[in-house]
Structure 1
């Protein structure tokens, strides 16, 4: 049996949350409410920044810029596009790397091989979890689970040459295996 009063109380709380969010009677989806919470709790280090191309009130689409300050990719600047669907947090965010990068876990189309964006996603994970996962890919690439198989083989076979190729691509732009990688040097 449905308890009518508990349903009404829940609806009232949702309306209050929507009104507190700035909308007069506009109901926010569960994903939008969760995004508000995730963004309120987001604390980014100085080498990561966030922008909202559609305006700060549009939380379901944003870009993250990661500027690694250590590891193979230090000195680079990498932009990731986040699109949060209506099913969030039950569905993972859709994330695409907008910067063409020579990386074992990022293919030439910008798709990312990060387990928490696929099979290991759980609703308890947050946007912060994804951002730190992306940052970790630049600190410790995983050639055992590659999207760019050529980069993974190069990383495993000759790590010093791989690092030199990555640094040349970041600083000046570089052609690797017939693919041109434009400079993505951090400003």
Structure 2
């Protein structure tokens, strides 16, 4: 049997909100002490390393961890036409960050309804953002994936919605990251 390397996602601590009083170095220590090989960290939890990928790489090496994925979401839910430009700028920022970590991918959060309007339009906007982010990732050599989920205000209620968004996403540009 081939060795299985397991990574840990930092969203567990993120859900604590203000009750989590640590920082990214605390996360790295706990995750490494837990025996994990890698980490998926979010834009919320990256803290002081947000503009310092080289320093984060050093911290990861010191902890014996690998960056597997960098995850981010958007207050637009990736469903607002007027936010496409800003969402893509954010995607580029994190793609550039992840590019410093060979093999790391960027995981984009699930499409979320944050405004009134036709659902059809929201699917089209989300797919446009995901596909354009996929193009940015391809240029930078970073894989892009969508992490769909059925949470509060989700655009994705059921199997038909999941099938719909994935029909609109170019699989040569954007992959899928399920919950594990």
Same fold by TM (over 0.5)? no
TM-score normalised by L of structure 1: 0.22
TM-score normalised by L of structure 2: 0.23
